[in-house]
Amino acid sequence: MAAIGAAFLVIGGGRAAVADPGASETLTTSVIHAVSVHRGQVARIDYRADDVAGGTVTIDLVVTSPQGAVVRTLVSAREAPVGVVQVWRGRVWLKTGRYVIAAHARDASGLSEAQAVPAALSVQRALPPIIPSAAARRAAFTWAARRAGRVAVAVVDSRGRPFGFHAGVPFTSASVVKAMLLVAYLRHHATVSAAMRDVLRHMINYSDNSAADAVYRVVGRRGLAKLARTVGMQGFRTTGAWVSTRITAADMAPFFRDMETWVPVRHRRFANWLLAHVTPSQCWGIPAAAVPLGYSVYFKPGWLGAWVLANEAARLEGHSVRLGLAVFTDRNPYSSYGKDTIAGVTRRLLRN
């Protein structure tokens, strides 16, 4: 897992703690900034001792619970000149929660500080591993560039960052837009009748065009456009028919990754079930590559003609990560070529 080389610095300061009666009257310590860090990542803590007498002191840097119990000693008996900021940098493997960082010092005569000003430490849950890695993205995009026809790829990685190859190029949607029809319908219907659930099931599980026509008559061109605006799509363009809607991989990868955000809670289980149970004959491309690697795939394929155009978009979940992926192809030289392109890109992206 890649490391972040610095902590996020937030509010500074903290409560003052008075030392024991044997303390030096002028020696003080302070932790300069509060720190917030993800568990397992690298944090930087700045601290110092001040004394009007000058000289050198011996400093300990400790992490305590909010109640004052020492949890971890970061620095022990470090000699340092007074008035000079000291830096501790290292990975934080504490449990998720809130702590206090404090510095304690002793002068040459052995007297401790009169006052210690601590700072807050917040440890957040660990970041997910970075998937796909930078090397995997390079391999996938380089390979995609060598494929015949037109290819576009967009991936939203495990930390929510978008990457792509020709991701903003518009493609004819074909049946990929049926996922948008599903979401648009569910957003505006508190309940779904048994008959309509069957229509939606045929539209997604079997990519039935007659079922899509029925849903489109309800949602309409305006409903699709409204959904596109709501989720922030930049390259979406409606036409007179759902099948010829223009979409981009850059829009579809985040839409699929975060689709649950746009589906009402009462309908999420139903929507996920549909997207996870596409008929086996249509489970090419992304699921064919990702499922053997241990991912659950929620997806929708689309194609025109004898797969001259083959598109696919998906959400992948597994290995403690969630990804959004869209791979679009057009002008494929033969029927299986686009499917192979989509599967090949997916395998390379997931190769870590």
What ranges do the domains of the chain cover?
8-124, 134-349
What's residue 23's pLDDT? 76
Rounded CA-CA distance 112/189 in Å is 68
Q: Helix or strand or coil: residue 230?
A: helix
Assess contact for 286 and 342: CB atoms under 8 A: yes
- What tens digit of pLDDT does each residue of 269-320 get? 999 999 999 999 999 999 999 999 999 999 999 999 999 999 999 999 999 9
What's residue 21's pLDDT? 59
Q: Model-level pTM greater than 0.85?
A: no
Rounded CA-CA distance 30/169 in Å is 54
Element spanning 165, H or E: strand 162-165
With a CB cutoff of 8 Å and minimum separation 6, the contacts of 144 are 151, 153, 165, 327, 341, 345
* Identical fold between 8-124 and 134-349: no
What's residue 239's pLDDT? 92
Residue 319 vs residues 113, 132, 158, 223: alpha-carbon distances, Å? 48, 12, 10, 35
DSSP state string for 282-339 = G--SHHHHHGGGT-EEEEEEEEETTTTEEEEEEEEEETTEEEEEEEEEES-SSTTHHH
Place of tokens 């192809």: 329
Nearest to 269 by CA among 329, 192, 177: 192
DSSP state string for 97-109 = EEEEEEEEEE-TT
What are residue 118's phi and psi, to 5 degrees?
A: -85, 180
Q: How confident is the prediction along the chain (352 residues), in pLDDT tens digits per residue?
A: 333 333 332 333 344 444 455 778 899 999 999 999 999 999 999 999 999 999 999 999 999 999 999 999 999 999 999 999 999 999 999 999 999 999 999 999 999 999 999 999 999 999 999 999 999 999 999 999 999 999 999 999 999 999 999 999 999 999 999 999 999 999 999 999 999 999 999 999 999 999 999 999 999 999 999 999 999 999 999 998 999 999 999 999 999 999 999 999 999 999 999 999 999 999 999 999 999 999 999 999 999 999 999 999 999 999 999 999 999 999 999 999 999 999 999 999 999 7
Assess contact for 107 and 24: CB atoms under 8 A: yes
Tokens of residue 38, six digits: 């993800």
- What tens digit of pLDDT does each residue of 91-121 get? 999 999 999 999 999 999 999 999 999 999 9
Rounded CA-CA distance 66/99 in Å is 6
CATH 3.40.710.10 for the 134-349 domain, yes or no: yes
Q: What angle do CA 337, 341, 343 make, to 5 degrees?
A: 115
| 246 exposure class (CB count in 10 Å sphere: 0-12, 13-18, 19+) | middle
What's residue 5's pLDDT? 32
What's residue 69's pLDDT? 95
Rounded CA-CA distance 104/31 in Å is 10
Class of domain 8-124: mainly beta
Rounded CA-CA distance 285/122 in Å is 42
What's residue 20's pLDDT? 57
